[in-house]
Amino acid sequence: MAATLIILLSLPTEGLLAQQKGKMTPQNPSPMIENTRPHQRINSEEISGETWNIDGILEHSIDLFLPETSKNTDSLSLLVHFHGLKSIANYAAISNPGWASITINLGSGSSAYSAPFTNPETFTNLIRTAKTKLNKPIKTIFISGWSAGYGAVRAILVSENYEIVDGALLLDGMHAGYIPQGVPLAAGSKINEEDLTAFEKLAKDAIKSNKTFLFTHSSVFPGTYASTTECADYLIQKLSLIQTPVLKEGPLGMQLLGEVSKGKLKILAFAGNTAPDHVDHLHGLFWFLDYMLE
């Protein structure tokens, strides 16, 4: 699927400062500047449709978007995205016909995203309000989190709302604590498996094709808690899967290095350990959504 692109020199990322639930040491951010990959960015100027601001459910306003191209459809699929510019989720909705999007930004750190959704009624009210605003039946619900936004995804997956979620995308966002805390795996620690239980359950259901799950990860190494690569390796080993090494172009000039695909589970490993590499995953949302639906 073609995308209109613009090039940015850099883009800040709140996700690189994300903390895990509880009190964990912030990561050690990469000081590197990367010029190998193009780090292309979507053009948000070509997005047209109807928008609403939903207030009263969260402390921050929620952005709901219905593309012009989806107004005449009988029913809709809904993408609920956590953390990142609303134009990116809206672009994903436009790029995949029949979709509407919700964007939620709650600040920095995964706990800022997980806390409001520990109460299942929060997500229930969100979906109910969206249905009323859109005035159409919603046939599919996908939740998506970039960076710290994975905290909300995890909170929803461990709640009773798991049943109404058809799929999830994690864009370079899945972390876990080390045991002992702050000690890397290479120094003899282990991953706190409880932090990944929800994602393991989702992956098992996706392998059976009962759910859809796409997880992308970079090579960013926080140092003080488990990286997305380490969490991917954990799931791959825990589920007795095999990662296939590849070397090919991904969305927006990203470099795909490895992939796992079984049933409706996909895990994609990309090159890069800098902030621009991390942000690439967010801007690739439109492509990843399309890839999940293939």
- Domains of the chain: which residue ranges? 48-165, 176-294
pTM: 0.89
User: CA 232 to CA 228: how far, in whole Å?
Assistant: 6
Amino acid at 96: N
Average pLDDT along the chain: 90
pLDDT at residue 153 greater than cutoff 50: yes
176-294 has the same fold as 48-165: yes
**Any idea what DSSP says for residue 92?**
H
How high is the pLDDT of residue 7? Answer: 30
The pLDDT-based confidence of 16 (bands split at 50, 70, 90) is: very low
pLDDT at 18: 36
Q: What is the CATH number of domain 48-165?
A: 3.40.50.1820
| Cα 152 from Cα 170, distance rounded (Å) | 11
Q: Where are the beta strands (DSSP E) in the chain?
A: 5-7, 40-42, 49-54, 62-67, 76-82, 99-104, 138-146, 167-171, 178-179, 190-191, 212-217, 244-249, 255-262, 265-270
Is the pLDDT score of 264 beyond 60? yes
| CATH 1.10.357 matches 176-294 | no
Amino acid at 105: N
